[in-house]
Amino acid sequence: MDTTEFRRRGKEMVDLIADYLENIEQRTVYPDVEPGYLRSLIPEEAPEEPDTYEDVVKDIERVIMPGVTHWHSPYFYAYFPTANSFPAMLADMLSGAIGCIGFSWAASPACTELETVMMDWLGKMLKLPEDFIAGTHGQGGGVIQGTASEATLVALLAARCRAVRMILASDPQRPETGITSKLVAYSSDQAHCSVERAGMIAGVRMKKIPTEQSDKYAVQGETLRRMIQEDKAAGLIPFYFCATLGTTPSCAFDHITELGHVSGPALYKIWMHIDAAYAGSSFICPEFRPLLNGIEFADSFNFNAHKWLLVNFDCSTMWVKKRSDLIGAFEMDPLYLKHDHQESGRYFCTDNSLFRSLKMWFVFRIYGLKGLQDYIRKHVELAKEFESLVRADQRFEISADVVLGLVCFRLKGSNEVNETLLKRINNGRKIHLVPCLLSGQFVLRFALCARTTESRHIREAWQLITQLAEEVMQELPH
């Protein structure tokens, strides 16, 4: 394919994408296929001779689309949103064309510098303390990770490294293995499973802090304090705590000011990482910014811009209070990476970085802060509308506070009734939801996800849910 054909095919692909998104609500949101469906539709081996571009495009509809879950359909209400916008798509095209790997300033100065500046832009939108902004007197800054899972792991590894070095500084003769074997980290029992996985990868024990419905599933400072004291008395070394703002099951919020006083330097010098994967985007709105109060106690903070900030996957934004904590944990200095501007290098644990900041640059400039705020507020308003529909029906109950764009609800009655209802909903493939478990109860999650969702879609979804609920309640004891 030469540039002449690329121009033609590129325009055709833009039309295909635009048509797909413009008509996405006409498609069945959840695919009706079985595992292994695709293998029978394509050859067992790659072609010896080139296929035509026309044949490849034909196979998109024949092979790919039947197995696609349409995350950007206005009838998709599962998980949490994944961002989608035309400016971000255009930026991805440019990033692919430039094709640089930004593992150092010398490898691509624009890639390195734009990322730092965009993270400062976003940090200022969030009104982060200056300690987290690179272009100030502070020692911190931001870096783009692939996912919140990566950010959690990076923070945990950096915290482990810092803890070991601090102990060795005061007791140089102590074996490092004797230190790491006693390290213990903490997270909420509502935290994402990636937090526990990070502990497994890092080779440290991760303890879950129990939460209660009466506390709105938030970790209590006294509970954390008690667990830390018990572990220290048992000879363990507490070193890391992952707080969550906007948990996956119910969008619950830990009280980070209270927790910061427990984990901070005055008491235990524990690294506090804040995972706000979904909710973080909302903090650009003044009315939601108080949810981030206490950020000054954190050593690191992360959220997924690719969830709710119209920046396509992948773009997980992470800030650290001290860049040296990350640089010190992952620094490698091979000869082939040396250059004249080492101090302008990057701070992450991989040697590969795409030009992801281009997506942020395009989206921030084309939407502006106000446009992004309006988008988030629209989703919250739609969630409140759905909540009011649920509360108006005496057969249903709300299972957790509706703070942002997630509504947790259930039929009053047994878990079996609710499991059957969800199965009917998803088997119908008109809308798509997923469940969670709160205080032993099976709960349905209704998350606002698509950029194009409107009030009419919400009301259509609720009408379908109530119709299926009526059928289930007639068939099963509740």
Asked if the model's pLDDT at residue 211 lies above 60, the reply is: yes
Lowest mean pLDDT among 112-126, 151-165, 386-400, 422-436: 151-165
Q: For 136-142, what is the mean pLDDT?
A: 82
pTM for the full model? Answer: 0.89
Q: What is the per-residue pLDDT for 345?
A: 45
- For residue 131, pLDDT over 80 is answered with yes
User: How much is the pLDDT for 344?
Assistant: 44
| Beta carbons of 242 and 184 less than 8 angstroms apart | no
The band of 340, judged by pLDDT with boundaries at 50, 70 and 90, is low
Which pLDDT band holds residue 121 (cuts at 50, 70, 90)?
very high
* pLDDT for residue 40: 92
CA gap 137, 109 in Å, rounded: 22
Q: Residue 285: its pLDDT value, please?
A: 98
Q: Spell out the domain ranges in the chain.
A: 100-353
pLDDT, average across residues 36-41:
94
Which of 311, 262, 299, 304 is CA-nearest to residue 283?
Answer: 304
User: pLDDT tens across 50-70, in order?
Assistant: 999 999 999 999 999 999 999
Q: Would you state the pLDDT for residue 289?
A: 97
Rounded to the nearest angstrom, the gap between the alpha carbon of residue 145 and the centroid of all alpha carbons in its chain is 11
The band of 329, judged by pLDDT with boundaries at 50, 70 and 90, is low
| 85 confidence band (pLDDT: 50, 70, 90) | very high
Residue 210 has pLDDT above 80, yes or no: yes
Closest-CA residue to 359 (of 85, 15, 72) = 85
Q: What pLDDT is recorded for position 179?
A: 84
Report residue 264's pLDDT band, with 50, 70 and 90 as the boundaries: low
Among 178-187, 280-289, 387-396, 466-475, the minimum mean pLDDT is found in 178-187
DSSP label at residue 255: -
* CATH of the domain spanning 100-353: 3.40.640.10
Ramachandran bin of 147, using left for φ above 0, alpha for ψ from -120 to 50, beta for the remaining angles: beta
Distance CA 309, CA 375 (A): 8
Report how far apart, in Å, the C-alpha atoms of 47 and of each of 42, 150, 203 are. Answer: 10, 36, 44
